Structure formats: C-alpha cells, structure tokens
Amino acid sequence: MNVLQVSAEIFPLLKTGGLADVAGALPLALNATGCQVRVLLPGFAPILADLTDRVTLAELVAPWGEPVRVCQGRLASLNLPAYVMDVPALYQRAGTPYEDAQRQPFTDNDRRFALLGWVAARLAAGLDAQWQPQVVHSHDWHAGLAGAYMAYLPPQRARVANVFTVHNLAYQGLFAPRHFFELGLPASAFSVDGLEFHGQLSFMKAGLFYADHITTVSPTYAREIQTPEQGCGLDGLLRTRAGDLSGILNGVDEAVWDPATDAAIAQRFDARKLEGKAQCKAALQQALGLAVQADAPLFGVVSRLTEQKGLHLVLAILDELVSRGGQLVVLGTGEAALETTFVQRARTHPASIAVRIGYDEPFAHQIFAATDVTLVPSRFEPCGLTQMYGLKYGSLPLVHRVGGLADTVVDCSLEDLAEGTANGFVFNNFNAHSLSRAMARAFALYAQPATWRKVRNRAMRQRLDWSQAASQYLALYQRLCH
C-alpha cells in the first residue's frame, strides 16, 4: 500500500505542537504494518537541510504563476522518503511556519499551503513515474486543499483514495474570497458544496468536504465536532458526513518518549525501577530553585499557552495548590497575557512555582520525568499527547473530561481504583471548582503512597504505542482502495 502523508510540520525537524509528533511517528508505524509511506512537506529550512540524496523531481508553475521546484530525497533523521517543495520565496522566512516574528499570520498563507495540496494532487495524478500513491492522507487545514485539487485537476491515472485527518478544528485556514481566484480551482468549487464558508475560503472545509474519509485523532472528538458546541461552525457538514467520519486515537512514539532510554533526563527509569524518577524530581527542583522536597507533589504543565488549553483554571487554583504543599512547573509559550501572569505568580512563590516561557524539547522531557502529576485542563482537546507522555513517565494526568483526554484517562474514583482501571484524575465541569476537586483527589491519593505507586505503575505499563492506530489507518486505507 503506497501512502503519501501530507503535513506542514514533522518532528524532529519542525514542530509547533502535536501535529508534528504525529506526522513524524505515523509514517514509521505504518511502514511497520507493510505500507510504503512517503511524506510531502513544504521546503522550510530545517526540512530541506535534512533531505539527503536530493534530486529535482519536477519544475512546475503554481496556479498563480510562481515557479515551484519539487525535490525528492530521503529525510535523514527519519530515514523516510520525502517530497519537498523548494520555493524559498514562500518558505524561507523568519518566524514560525505560520506567523511572522510579530506573531501575525503571513498574508500569503493561502498560497503557501494551497501549494501543499496542489503538489499532493499532482503526485496523485502521476507526477512521479517511479511511485504512485494509492492513498493521499492529508493533515489539518494546511493540507486541506489536497482533496479539492484531486477532485478537479488534473485527471488521475489511477483512483487514489483521499483521507483527511482533523487534528484541530479550531484552526481552519480562512481567507478572503479574493484569494480563491488565484488558486486554480473552478469557480463552482467556491460554493456551499465546496470550500466556501460564510463567504470566505476555508481550507478546513475543503478538507472535510472533498475527503473520501475524515478521521479525527480520538473517538470522542469525532463525536464532539458533530455538535454545535464543538463544531466550530462545521458541525452541520460533519453530521452529513457522519458515515465517513471516525476517530483513531494517536499513540506515543516510544523511540522519543520512553523514560528507560531518554537521553534528555537526569536519570533513566522504568516501571520496575523508579529511583531514577526521584532523582529527576530532585534535579529539576534544584535547577529551578524550587524547595528540594521529595514529598511535595510536583505538578507540571507543558503546553501552548492558548485559550484552548484552559490554563486560566490553573491560575485560579494556584494558591490552593501551593497552600496544600504542592509545587508547579510550567513550560509554555503563547498568549502574552498568560505568559505574563504565570511569570508573575512564579515570582510571588519562587520556592513552589517555576515558570519557563519558551519552547524547549529536552526541558519538556525533564518535566514529564520529574513531575508527579501532568495538568491538562483543556477546554477542548482533539487528542492531546502530553497526558500520554505523563502516563509513560509516571506523571499521572489530571485532565478535563473532553476529547482524547476522556479517551485516555480514567479517574481515581473508588470503583476504578478497586477495578484497577484508574490512571489519573478527571474533572467533568470546565470550571475552577471542578478542577480544584480533582486536584484534591490527587493530593488525597498522594497521601497514600502505596496506592499512588500502584496507580503509577499501571499508568507506566499501559500500551500507548502507535501500532494500534497504524493498524486502524491501514484497515481504513484498504477499505477505501477496494
């Protein structure tokens, strides 16, 4: 089964969030099931720099007249065949893949990402005489036009299935209608039955509308996005496509996230030998100027600091967390107001709260390794990876019952403790009171070390690798290609 994976980011080369983790792990997991996966990526500097055995596959002209070189080679860091669009004018810029240094979206993002879908469609149509994808699997709005281009141009030699995965419906890739006419799609596509969304051009809607099958990154999120509360205005369309919509839970890339082999942490450990975890905790407390106290429950947050992540609830219960004798470490970057408030709170309680603003991959590993609890109080969460990293590293997740968090964390209620299914703490209502009660449960369990150890042991042994998801994707591809 030849599968072309299309995404804007890929770990370890370029990452702003969980999308990159998935894009980096899923191809290798699929290859292990017998698929032959190639990836298509924009030519951001770190991606081009990693591309070995590079040759030019084609020199094309984008629908708006811009020359496009499509390169082909192998990503050295992943040992994965890749196609990369080498267009320096579009991709070689300061800032994130999506925003300039002032955090403003680039004004030509429509072209920068339309190209991703356009080249995917050209590959589906036989651009590479040596390799024909049977499935084009695109991720999030950046790759959302792949299905639209496959539907309209150019004719495909073979039938190619088109799968679209929603990682986050809240980011939709909306553009003013004037941009539509430079993208080379027929005028009829700019309609309710197409990629028009309230008068604008929506890459996300295109992805949903033209896909043969839509997946989301957890079963619960697949249901939630069909409701007005979580459908971001697209729930109607998603309900009409309910028969072609399913949730496949992400996994954990154990080559990257495993405390037994992790080179970034102070001391390695596993479920059988946890001395290393205590050493990681002491090392982090010391490094951050927190009181070095083995018995202070240490809570951690590794997150984008955005509205989605519900971190204002953490601010609301912070005094209680500290007065109960807990500690908190935060690593994040995002909205200025959240950054400032967290930094201020750390200043008032330097022995109990440490906040680092920024993006720091090794530090993220150290936090999961050191902490007792991983806080993920998201308002909504399509899948969420950090709660799963918490489980792997024995940092019990404390989460809001939503999306993939609901699918991966079982609260330490008396019955679930008794039945041996509990692995963390879950709150139902998205408010500070409900979070505070879950935190109280965490403190109560922490005060019973034997039970805590039992739950942690079970959490660390849970199977979270990518193999289950990979076989579900494979089964889907096979069904669509029949």
Shortest reach from residue 332's CB to ligand ADP, in Å: 5
Q: What is the 3-state secondary structure (H, E, C) of 84-108?
A: EEECHHHHCCCCCCCECCCCCECCC
388: contact with ligand GLC by CB under 6 A? no
If the CB atoms of residues 202 and 374 are measured against ligand ADP, the closer one turns out to be 374
19: contact with ligand GLC by CB under 6 A? yes
| Contact yes or no for 131/191 (Cβ under 8 A) | no
C-alpha 203/C-alpha 394 separation (Å) is 39
224: contact with ligand GLC by CB under 6 A? no
Q: Which residue is nearest to ligand GLC (CB)?
A: 18
Shortest reach from residue 205's CB to ligand GLC, in Å: 18
- What is residue 336's three-state secondary structure? helix
Element (H, E) at 135: strand 135-139
Binding segment (CB under 6 A) for ligand GLC, from list 127-135, 146-154, 318-326, 380-388: 380-388
359 binding partner (options ligand ADP, ligand GLC, none; Cβ < 5 to 8 Å by kind):
ligand ADP
| Contact yes or no for 53/73 (Cβ under 8 A) | yes
Shortest reach from residue 55's CB to ligand GLC, in Å: 32
| Contact yes or no for 14/38 (Cβ under 8 A) | no
382: contact with ligand GLC by CB under 6 A? yes
Shortest reach from residue 398's CB to ligand GLC, in Å: 16
Shortest reach from residue 228's CB to ligand GLC, in Å: 20
* Residue ranges in contact with ligand ADP by CB under 6 A: 17-19, 21, 302-304, 331-333, 359-361, 364, 383-386
17: contact with ligand GLC by CB under 6 A? yes
167: contact with ligand GLC by CB under 6 A? yes
C-alpha 147/C-alpha 276 separation (Å) is 48
Q: Which residue is nearest to ligand ADP (CB)?
A: 18
Per-residue x/- mask for ligand GLC, residues 233 to 272, rule CB under 6 A? -----------------x----------------------
Task: Using alpha carbons, list the distances in angstroms from residue 104 to 107, 109, 142, 156, 158.
Answer: 8, 11, 16, 37, 41
If the CB atoms of residues 72 and 218 are measured against ligand ADP, the closer one turns out to be 218
Angle among Cα 407, 322, 415 to the nearest 5 degrees reads: 35
C-alpha 412/C-alpha 389 separation (Å) is 18
Q: Which of residues 183-222 bind ligand GLC (CB under 6 A)?
A: 217
Shortest reach from residue 70's CB to ligand GLC, in Å: 26
Shortest reach from residue 14's CB to ligand ADP, in Å: 12
If the CB atoms of residues 300 and 384 are measured against ligand GLC, the closer one turns out to be 384
If the CB atoms of residues 259 and 382 are measured against ligand GLC, the closer one turns out to be 382
- What is residue 423's three-state secondary structure? coil
The dihedral of CA 266, 271, 275, 278: what is its sign?
positive
97: contact with ligand GLC by CB under 6 A? no
If the CB atoms of residues 304 and 454 are measured against ligand GLC, the closer one turns out to be 304
Angle between helix axes 467-481 and 18-32 (nearest 10 degrees) is 70
298: contact with ligand GLC by CB under 6 A? no
Query: Residue 202: which of 183, 217, 228 has the closest Cα?
Result: 183
| Contact yes or no for 195/209 (Cβ under 8 A) | yes
Shortest reach from residue 77's CB to ligand ADP, in Å: 16
C-alpha 247/C-alpha 222 separation (Å) is 5
160: contact with ligand GLC by CB under 6 A? no
331 binding partner (options ligand GLC, ligand ADP, none; Cβ < 5 to 8 Å by kind):
ligand ADP
Shortest reach from residue 288's CB to ligand GLC, in Å: 26
379: contact with ligand GLC by CB under 6 A? no
Pull the structure tokens for residue 144.
Answer: 């959302």
C-alpha 16/C-alpha 361 separation (Å) is 11
Total residues at interface with ligand GLC (CB under 6 A): 14
Give DSSP secondary structure letters for 15-69.
Answer: -SSHHHHHHHHHHHHHHHTT-EEEEEEE--HHHHHHEEEEEEEEEEE-TTS-EEE
319 binding partner (options ligand GLC, ligand ADP, none; Cβ < 5 to 8 Å by kind):
none
Shortest reach from residue 250's CB to ligand GLC, in Å: 5
Q: Which residues bind ligand GLC (CB under 6 A)?
A: 17-19, 22, 167-168, 217, 250, 381-385, 404
